[in-house]
Structure 1
Amino acid sequence: MKFENASIKNLESVEEYVEKLMLSGKIFQREYVEEHIFIGLQRSGQEEIERQNTEFGGIEKYLYIRMNTEDGAFITAKVNRSYFEKAEVSAQEAWGLAEKNTNKESFVMGLAEYMARRFGKCMETMLFLDQTPFYVVTNKSGHKGASAILNKKMLSEFGKKYNINKVVVIPSSIHEMFILSADILESVGMKELTKMVQYVNKNEVSDKEQLSDRAYILDI
């Protein structure tokens, strides 16, 4: 397992907490896995972890365990294949459990409303060129939430609500995706949208949190 410091400043506390979990064997127990395994998204690579391709070229999905500490913070750990030699679930079962947990915490919301709720910024609207609104796809914690884009049922319900059957997907970071109606393509081409993604990556997103250098079209 590859541990990451998600929201704890004291590295010693992280190491102590992880060591305690590993020694107790709790992290391998089925009951624990059922509640703490999720799906994350990242650039496609060669890491020796439990991962699969997605329909978004250049982006892969992987499994991670999210550990909640006593002070309300959390640590995440990417799951490698050797993990399942000790775990009380198979890799196939783990993917199903992770999908369930990920979908349960995912949501899609208008970008203006999302910014207002999260950052207290008052925005009546946030539009793109021809008045096409942006929507944010992420999770409740705002951490590793880009995988919410894999929630087909949620996107289908979103499409029915707004009478949208095709969207442009803008990879913001590993924490969220932006989507907007594919009607935007009547006035703005994919080349321009991809340039926007590349500009944001270069100027706003750290290398380790970037997902892709292009935009995508998705039927929902």
Structure 2
Amino acid sequence: MTTPELKAVIFDMDGVLIDSEPVWQIAEHKVMSELGLNISIEDTVETTGLRIDHVVAFWYARFPWPNYDNAQTAQAIVEQVIKHILVEGTPMQGVITALKTCQEHGLKIGLATSSSSDIINAVLNKLAIGSYFQAIKSAEYLTYGKPHPEVYLNCAAALNIDPIHCLAIEDSFNGLVAARAANMQTIAIPEPKLAGLAKWVIAHHQLASLAQLPDFLAAQH
């Protein structure tokens, strides 16, 4: 079966463009601990790729706490993350080269993230990469975030490209499920310590970092 021609690359943001997954985990752990939850940093890996309100709901379902206010708790986590990004945010390996290579191949470039517009703006400004994207879509106000495919479908529609001609690049299992459900081609770039897990088999391809994307795209043409 031949692979459909690539016409667009859609990037996830956290953990793909910016090294922010550890920051999310630290912020999530800090806020949940302050609410009295006895969870570890390792436990927060379970929520990677989920939208922030779903993260808060996830933990409340397991360890209910009094005076539950999803929006307030979510905002506390987001503020911690933004603060860190603006001070210490660093791009993942190979980001700029990957974006430039997509341009050189004539591919449209999109962003599909569970993160809020505040975090998107903080990341794009910090890394100075906003000009590369022809469509930026957030799951912030959608009924469902990833693993639901809507944010990916919205991004493909904004690029005016059929999802089957889009390549989604993800670091999380929830994100891959979303991209597969959107009928996109997929690349998984999981964090190194998780790269050997069998679950990444759901991706069409697996790379060690975005630094390998230029060679991958060259092989497609």
Normalising by structure 1, what TM-score?
0.33
Larger radius of gyration: 1
* Structure showing the higher helix proportion among its residues: 2
* Structure showing the higher strand proportion among its residues: 1
Normalising by structure 2, what TM-score?
0.33
